[in-house]
């Protein structure tokens, strides 16, 4: 579904733009992704809409076939990148699972602010899981597909082409900013 509208109270959720992740090898230029995420955050703040900054510090404890990196993260790994320009009114969430809703109070924070729609950035594991959880919680979902990347091109491409259109509307950073301006 193409991007058509934003609800009056839409929150931007920026997922996993932290030092330890932006330093990994990624499919798309992290500079471009960060720049677009910052453009979105500035636009949401200008319109008085909630900005949620999510970092990850750990993982779910269940068994998997693929080994996970062990041990504690290095110092600074979980720190949000300074380019996001965290503001006092921003909602900060630290997740310990793939999605930002499962093990946090994010849903209750959004509901207490009257949020009915979320827009997200950053692909694959974190954004896809968060988008799925938001959709299942009844939020309208919009995904800024040019403001996200992944470490695996096949995962990024699959999410954008096959998963995201089933969860909500997809569009560019520019299209979202233009819809905000129309509100």
Q: Is 86 left (phi over 0), alpha (psi -120 to 50) or beta?
A: beta
Whole-number pLDDT of residue 69: 65
- pTM attached to this predicted model: 0.89
**Integer CA distances (angstroms), 109 to 9, 22, 92, 100, 106, in order:** 13, 26, 10, 12, 5
**Integer CA distances (angstroms), 105 to 94, 100, 109, in order:** 10, 9, 6
The residues of the chain scoring below 70 in pLDDT are 1, 60, 63, 68-71, 120-124
Integer Cα distance of 38 and 113 in angstroms? 22
Q: What is the pLDDT of residues 100-143, one digit of tens each?
A: 998 899 999 999 999 988 875 555 678 898 999 999 999 999 99
Whole-number pLDDT of residue 70: 63
């Amino acid at each position: 579904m193409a991007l058509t509208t934003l609800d009056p109270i839409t929150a931007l959720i920026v997922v996993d733009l932290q030092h330890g992740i932006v330093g990994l090898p990624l499919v798309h230029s992290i500079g471009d992704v960060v720049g677009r995420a910052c453009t979105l955050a500035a636009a949401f703040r200008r319109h008085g809409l909630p900005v949620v900054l999510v970092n990850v510090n750990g993982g779910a404890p269940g068994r998997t076939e693929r080994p996970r990196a062990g041990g504690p993260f290095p110092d600074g790994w979980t720190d949000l990148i300074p380019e996001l320009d965290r503001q006092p009114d921003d909602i900060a969430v630290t997740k310990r699972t793939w999605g930002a809703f499962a093990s946090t109070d994010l849903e209750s924070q959004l509901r207490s602010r009257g949020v009915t729609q979320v827009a997200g950035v950053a692909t694959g594991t974190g954004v896809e899981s968060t988008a799925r959880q938001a959709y299942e919680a009844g939020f309208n979902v919009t995904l800024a597909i040019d403001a996200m990347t992944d470490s695996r091109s096949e995962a990024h491409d699959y999410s954008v082409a096959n998963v995201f259109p089933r969860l909500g509307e997809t569009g560019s950073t520019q299209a979202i900013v233009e819809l905000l301006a129309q509100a």
